[in-house]
Structure 1
Amino acid sequence: MMRVIDLTLTLQRPMRGVDWEITHRLEQHGWNGRMLKLYSHAGTHIDAPFHFGVGSTTIDEIDPARFRDTAWLADLGNTEEGQLLEPAHLGRLAQDFPPGQSLLLRTGWSRYARTDLARYRDRLPRISRSLAQWCVQKRVNMLGVEPPSVADVNQLDEVSEIHRILLEAGILIIEGLTNLHQIRQPRVELCAFPLSIKGSDGAPARVLAYEEEGA
């Protein structure tokens, strides 16, 4: 029997890039409805190569078969503010990772997503150049992280370099994951489906992990 873990942050105010306007009310119109205003990288989301100008591929042009894959969990413990994540932090997985599959990095950082938005965005643990290059060498399909970015969003050179290394290699970047602490097994089936938005540089996604009960 499969156990399902929802790795998706619920979109809500005052999250960055999330807003809406109530346009219809049941009492007045006969149904409820709202107009959503979403940043393409709000909450749990996936980056397309076009996000950093690595080619012209947009989120709607990515083969949807890539959004379902076997993913391995690297437990990095509760990382420190601004910590650079290196291949050594992966432990045995640095050697044993099966090339071509997907990787989830558990850092505990999502605990700040609703309690300390400034820390969550501005002091996040970051993927080092060497770890990004390791992902390229291992042909990682999807790379999932808890912070809202794989690199320091306040350092343009860094955030551009790390994204470009990954995106140029065709790696799908999932940012803003949560509930990774609920995963019990070292390997899960990962399903991460972004909204199909024409011409978009990225999109919010619903991300689920499936694991065998009692495996």
Structure 2
Amino acid sequence: MRPIVDLTLTYTNDFIGFSKEISKTIDADGWNASTLTFYSHCGTHMDAPIHFNVSKQTIDHIPVTDFVGRAWVVDVRHIGSKGLINPEHIPQKIKDEFVAGDSLIFWTDWSQYANTPKYRDELPRISKDLALWCVSKKVKMIGVEPPSVADVNNLDEVTKIHQILLQGVVIIEGLTNIDALQTNCVELIALPLKIGDGDGAPARVIAIEKYL
């Protein structure tokens, strides 16, 4: 069996944008249940084109075939705080083997800062050139560790990068545990909650190693 690695952050009550409250208990009701409250773009989540009005496509209408495929892991840990990730940061070997429909995961080690001001305010981000490159190369999914592919404190930038990517690229934000991967080529599976008319949704994201 091929190794399977979970790339999903764990939702707890310490997590910004999420709460879990007791709804039912065994003693009082006969079973345990919870009431969950999510911000649609908290934790490990995926964006739909309607998030930035690129189109009217919502998360429940993205084809499930767009959620599975071969992905290349790009090590950009050297980029650092507020750095820009550019096409030249993708190794030539990956570019040579990349085919339309493949996906990219950018390893920044940024998930270590989750739920801190640095996580949101100093994130490394996708450059305009890289966003355009991804669209032109028909990248299926792009996965990042920070809570956004762009500077959330710069409305012009965050709008521009999302609007470019969402023309054809599925965006996954808030990944973690990339350092557990033993190879730079995996089968990526990212399944968002099927929320009607959703602008985005939490997702369970896994990587299956030794892609063949």
TM exceeding 0.5: yes
Secondary structure of the residue that 1:8 maps to in structure 2?
coil
Deviation at 1:78, TM superposition (A): 4.2
Give runs of aligned pairs for residues 1-215 of structure 1, distance below 5 A. 1-92=1-92, 93-114=94-115, 117-168=116-167, 170-212=168-210
- Shift of residue 77 of structure 1? 2.3
Matches of 1:6 and 1:20 in 2, distance apart?
Answer: 21
* 2:80 partner amino acid: E
CA contact (8 A) 1:79 1:108 kept: no
Greater mean alpha carbon deviation, residues 23-32 or residues 44-53: 23-32
- SS of the residue corresponding to residue 212 of structure 1 reads coil
SS at match of 1:159: helix
CA contact (8 A) 1:49 1:55 kept: yes
Identity %: 50
Give the secondary-structure state (helix, strand or coil) at the position aligned to 1:161: helix
Moved >6 Å (runs of 4+): none
Aligned length in residues: 211
Q: CA RMSD of the aligned region, Å? A: 1.4
User: Alpha-carbon deviation of 1:2?
Assistant: 0.4
Identify which range, 12-21 or 65-74, moves more after superposition. 12-21
Q: Unpaired segments of 5 or more residues in structure 2? A: none
Asked whether the 8 Å contact 1:59–1:199 carries over to 2, the reply is yes
Q: Deviations over 1:41-90 (max 9, x none)?
A: 11000000010011100000111121111111111124311001111111
Unpaired runs of at least 5, structure 1: none
